[in-house]
Amino acid sequence: MAESNYRIKTIEWQGDEVVMIDQRVLPLEEEYIHHTTWQEVADSIRTMVIRGAPAIGVATAMGMALAAMQSNAEDYQSLRADLDAAAQGLFETRPTAYNLGWALDQMKKIYGEPGEPGEIRARMKERSQEILEEDIAMCMAMGEHAAPLFPEGARILTHCNAGALATGGYGTALGVIRSVFRRDPSIHVYVDETRPFLQGARLTAWELQQEGISCCLITDNMAGYFFKKGEIDAVVVGSDRIAANGDVANKIGTYTVSVLAREHGVPFYVAAPTSTVDLGVPDGDHIPIEERPTEEVTCMMDTQVAPHGIAVCNPAFDVTPHENVAAIITEAGVHREPYTESLAEAKKGKD
């Protein structure tokens, strides 16, 4: 991994246990949760112990490996039945993150063909570790491709957390920021707090602070003020799913930032591995948007702030149309319009 002050491991194997840092309690507490079953992993994905599309993909792969180890099936057909059930359970946890389905496909390549159960178990665990390592390598490649896009002393706005915590390590959008910072320590980052789950305030601010990258935290509704004052030179965000035409699903509020960026002539960049690109959906209208529990909106952390019984909407993601996106950066390079062609090219030979 590149020189980094980042010391927290988002997710890793410790023997036959999958260990995750609990992102619900960061940055005030640093707690780790040990998982020995796929059901526990599914629960941790659903409840946001681990979140961020690439990290969800890694957790899914490890969850499937745990399912293989949990199963005491002695023949291929029984193992296959156990694994299909686990795959369905994991698939139902979070619908927008494409990396989840991608990781299931990767694991199915191993257990989808008849084989000796012991060998399948070993290979699935090995592959889940490879997926973690490949994810870090992809993030670092994105950082290298994207860094030259930013002017000296760039003031960069980011939304949500697309950092080491949201990936195997290093980060997509935050990985780009890390790479820009290594070339030019004079950059400054505006961090949207990202209501309702506060991934920006709790996680991005924390990661940047740990690395000594100059940053300031703003509430989501302050972004327009800073665009209008000419204090933002570029935006970089991650993504949960990118459609074939370049429409980008990301954390709720990203679309608003993209409109502000377009209005003010500021480039809006998206950094995501090709495992986030879903060529199976033609455009953003076909991306499923997760609706999350109402308490995330009515409460700030555990404190109720809205009237009891109030009606609430809580879509977790929105879609930024490709027209608002200056470039999509994957591990394969910097992709621009027409995205239908450039993304298809980026995905060639990847799945």
Q: Which of 60, 71, 172, 275 binds ligand MRU (CB under 6 A)?
A: 172
> Residue with the closest Cβ to ligand MRU?
238
Segment contacting ligand MRU by CB under 6 A, of 31-39, 126-134, 209-217, 232-240:
232-240
Catalytic annotation present for 240: yes
Q: How far apart are CA 168 and CA 170, in angstroms?
A: 7
Strand order in the sheet with 32-35: 11-14, 17-21, 32-35
- Residue 200 engages ligand MRU in binding (rule: CB under 6 A): no
CB nearer to ligand MRU: give 71 or 254. 254
CB nearer to ligand MRU: give 128 or 276. 276
Q: Which of 10, 128, 199, 298 binds ligand MRU (CB under 6 A)?
A: 199
Question: What Å distances lie between residue 87 and 39, 105, 132, 320, 324, CA to CA?
Answer: 10, 9, 18, 29, 35
CB nearer to ligand MRU: give 235 or 316. 316
- Residue 156 engages ligand MRU in binding (rule: CB under 6 A): no
CB nearer to ligand MRU: give 203 or 326. 203
Question: What Å distances lie between residue 304 and 42, 247, 298, 315, CA to CA?
Answer: 27, 35, 6, 19
Q: Strands 268-271 and 234-237, how do they pair?
A: parallel
The residue with tokens 């709790």 is 202
- Residue 90 engages ligand MRU in binding (rule: CB under 6 A): no
Tokens of 145: 């491709």
Q: How far is the CB of 241 from ligand MRU (least distance, A)?
A: 9
**Contact by Cβ (8 Å): 283, 251:** no
Binding residues for ligand MRU, how many (CB under 6 A)? 16
Q: Which of 192, 240, 247, 318 is catalytic?
A: 240
Helix 98-111 with 53-70: angle, nearest 10 deg:
30
CB nearer to ligand MRU: give 124 or 173. 173
Q: How far is the CB of 316 from ligand MRU (least distance, A)?
A: 5
- Residue 202 engages ligand MRU in binding (rule: CB under 6 A): no
Give the number of residues written for the chain.
Answer: 351
Cis omega (within 30 of 0) for bond into 196: yes
Q: Which of 145, 178, 251, 335 binds ligand MRU (CB under 6 A)?
A: 251
Cis omega (within 30 of 0) for bond into 54: no
Q: Which of 51, 127, 155, 322 binds ligand MRU (CB under 6 A)?
A: 51
Q: Which of 250, 298, 330, 342 binds ligand MRU (CB under 6 A)?
A: 250
Question: What Å distances lie between residue 109 and 80, 124, 278, 289, 324, CA to CA?
Answer: 12, 10, 18, 27, 36
Cis omega (within 30 of 0) for bond into 185: no
> In the beta sheet, which residues pair with residue 334?
329
Segment contacting ligand MRU by CB under 6 A, of 78-86, 212-220, 237-245, 336-344:
237-245
CB nearer to ligand MRU: give 51 or 125. 51
Q: How far apart are CA 5 and CA 162, in angstroms?
A: 17
Residues designated catalytic: 240
Per CB under 6 A, residues contacting ligand MRU are 51-54, 160, 162, 166-167, 172, 199, 238-240, 250-251, 316
